[in-house]
Amino acid sequence: MKYLFFLILLFSSVYAQQAKILYTAALLENNFETRKQEYIHSINILKEFGYKPYIVESCNKSGPTFFDEYSSHVCYAGTNDPTLRNKGVNEVLSLLAAFGEYDFNDDDMIIKLTGRYFFENDLFLKFVEKNKKYDAIVSRDTRRQIFDRDIVPIVFTGCFAMKYKYLKRMLEQLDLEKMERNIDKILEREVTKYLFSFVQKGGTVVYLDKLHLTANIAFPGQDRLTHW
């Protein structure tokens, strides 16, 4: 009976832990001040919702920068390669560097967030906190074409949640050289393929229609502000 009680407490404590927000940024010289204000705005919203982001900045090999004023967890990856055509490769390299810096637990739910995006409300965050039994929580990016013959909507990678052990495994398995050679192999497509296979093997994935997320990034034919 005592052993069973201990297991219940252990199980409860794992799921009571707050999700970790892994926040990606790139302090490029181009439009630096605009990007800075976008980053600060996004971080302040996260703080209002009770989160302290784990920031990985890809352009600098050391700090400090203004990020240190907003978080005690800042990893300066120095992995950004401006010659790469595939932006997803640069982001993956920075995330892999962050994995070596931050001591996440395998079952931690990681919310990966591109720093220039900001939440309009905390509905997605609350959904993640209440549904840690799932391995991943993602959204469909209806702005992109469907994936191949399987008719699976492309996954939006600006923000998604995934247990650390699966996120790490997914990114480590990516063929980054092949992604750079073939520009059609965007990160969204590679994540979509991984999750499709993951579900076939018994992984549990929730697909949401809306994240309540905004970015100052325009798609062709749309306003400057884009909503997911």
Around Cβ 218, how many Cβ atoms within 10 Å? Answer: 11
Does the global pTM surpass 0.75? Answer: yes
User: What is the extent of the structural domain holding 75?
Assistant: 18-227
Is residue 49 one of the residues assigned to a domain? yes
Residue that has been written with the tokens 């969204």 in this structure = 188
- The answer to whether residue 13 sits within a structural domain is no
Q: pLDDT by residue for the chain (228 residues), tens digit each?
A: 555 544 444 444 444 689 999 999 999 998 899 999 999 999 999 999 999 999 999 999 999 999 999 999 999 999 999 999 999 999 999 999 999 999 999 999 999 999 999 999 999 999 999 999 999 999 987 665 544 444 467 899 999 999 999 999 999 999 999 999 987 778 998 999 999 999 999 999 999 989 999 876 544 444 444 554
Q: How far is CA 184 from CA 17, 41, 151, 166, 179, in A?
A: 38, 32, 17, 24, 8
Which DSSP state fits 152?
B
Q: Is residue 139 part of a domain?
A: yes
CATH number at residue 46: 3.90.550.10
Residue 9, domain member (yes or no)? no
Q: Is residue 7 part of a domain?
A: no
Give a yes or no: residue 10 inside a domain.
no
Is residue 6 in a domain?
Answer: no
Q: Cα(114)–Cα(106) distance, rounded to whole angstroms? A: 22
Q: In the chain, how many domains are there?
A: 1
Structural domain includes residue 60: yes
